[in-house]
Structure 1
Amino acid sequence: MTRIWMVRHGESLLNAAHRLQGWSDAPLTARGVEQASARAGDFARLGVRFDAVVSADGIRHRQTARVLAPEAERAEDEDWREICFGALEGAKVRKVSGMLARFRDTADPMREVLLALAARDIGAEHPDVVVARASAALERAAGLGDEVLVVTSGITKMLLLGALGGDLSRVTGGPSNLSVSTLDGAPGAWTVTRAVVDEL
């Protein structure tokens, strides 16, 4: 059995500026590095030793992985990237917040917003495409050891957890930087054991 420790990257410069990142990229802020260092301390206290570390291919992901597991060999997998927002890449987050208000009475407001974006912008990624690529990345990560750290982004993480039946009812406003989710299992058979937690 493999345990996947899926972690959102630390605060980036675009996070701090309240801008959508998607496939756009920015390095971590000093606060983002501190967040990653604190989470590394949590893993050390728990005695978690990673057999492998995989990150998305953005600088924010690579920096976070390096702080979380400085001694481990790290690999990159572009399928762990954040969803692409198309023309809204780099836009102020409030543009999506306004759309969320329109869908607030639906079962999954964020998914509805992402579907609306994909329907009107050919450059915006469909959420099902994100789930498919993240699922493929998850299967590849499973072959790397018993304890595998994955550093990804918030929406990609939420879409995958939702597709795997994770209970996201307590997550409002998206997962925080360095939030942790765990998946236990093997290729094709995963259980979400921690949906999204800020404290270990």
Structure 2
Amino acid sequence: MKIYLVRHGKTMFNTIGRAQGWSDTPLTKQGELCITELGLGFAEKGIKFDRAYSSDSGRTIQTINLILKNSANEGIPYKMDWRIREWCFGSFDGAYDGELFDGLIPRFMAENGITRETRTTKDICEAIYEVDTAGWAETWEALIGRISTGFKEIAEEAEATGAKNIVIVSHGMTIGTFVEFLEPKRERPMGLDNGSVSEINYENGKFSIETVGDMSYCHIGQTILNNK
């Protein structure tokens, strides 16, 4: 079974550089256009999905609907799963990226002897957990547990139905964390583009990564719209 794992379209918070996390904003016009192009790219390649999944965040729901509509895959079984939401930034949900990722987190790292060159994804998660004043941010164990379990159970459910191709819409840091979980020696992809596709195979309970952050489907759809 092949999994087409998509990062949602560009949102209002993405555009102005705010940490979105469990907070939510809708796709911008540019974001809607990119995902429309993505759907057209899937259609041009003749990709038929058997099932569709997304997190329960509005931006991923909006994205999956646009994908299915423009790829001629409307009406297939679709399910939301909260476990593949973005990281929770706690009291910093909605804060400017610079305040969190260029301010508080580096300061916490420096105070604990962790450099930018040596820091890990776990270090970043634990830093967010420590600086969160609301007590909402997740520990590393909670974060990696929900993400890995969410994707695994989605894959198991889809495989049990005989699905060959499924599409999942999730979030940038969540996708990057899952990729790193599957292949620890692979550097966690930073800054995955909105609308990018990571292709992952699933067979006999095991995942294998084909591509990460592929924008070719969007480019195909863009060419189709330009020609029209």
Separation in structure 1 between the aligned mates of residue 68 and residue 50 of structure 2, nearest angstrom: 10
**Which residue identity does 2:20 align to in structure 1?**
Q
Aligned residue in 2 for 1:189: 206
Query: Higher Cα Rg: structure 1 or 2?
Result: 2
Answering whether residue 172 of structure 2 is matched by residue 159 of structure 1, we say: no
- Percent identical among aligned pairs is 28
Question: In proportion to residue count, which structure has more helix?
Answer: 2
Where does the alignment leave 5 or more consecutive residues of structure 2 unmatched?
Answer: 110-114, 218-228
Is the 8 Å Cα contact of residues 80 and 152 (structure 1) preserved in structure 2? yes
CA pair 100-111 structure 1, distance change in 2 beyond 3 A: farther
CA pair 26-170 structure 1, distance change in 2 beyond 3 A: closer
Answering whether residue 78 of structure 2 is matched by residue 79 of structure 1, we say: no
Aligned residue in 1 for 2:224: none
**Which residue identity does 2:164 align to in structure 1?**
D
**How many residues get paired?**
197
Is the 8 Å Cα contact of residues 7 and 179 (structure 1) preserved in structure 2? yes
Deviation at 1:54, TM superposition (A): 0.4
Q: 3-state DSSP class of the match of 1:47? A: coil
Is the 8 Å Cα contact of residues 10 and 36 (structure 1) preserved in structure 2? yes
Aligned residue in 2 for 1:106: 118
Q: How does 1:11-160 map to 2 (within 5 A)?
A: 11-70=10-69, 71=74, 72-98=76-102, 99=105, 103-106=115-118, 108=120, 110-121=121-132, 122-142=135-155, 143-144=157-158, 145-160=163-178
With the length of structure 1 as denominator, give the TM-score of the two structures: 0.89
Is the 8 Å Cα contact of residues 166 and 195 (structure 1) preserved in structure 2? no
Deviates more, 1:140-149 or 1:43-52: 140-149
CA RMSD of aligned residues (A): 2.1
**Which residue identity does 1:90 align to in structure 2?**
G
Where does the alignment leave 5 or more consecutive residues of structure 1 unmatched?
Answer: none
Is the 8 Å Cα contact of residues 130 and 156 (structure 1) preserved in structure 2? no
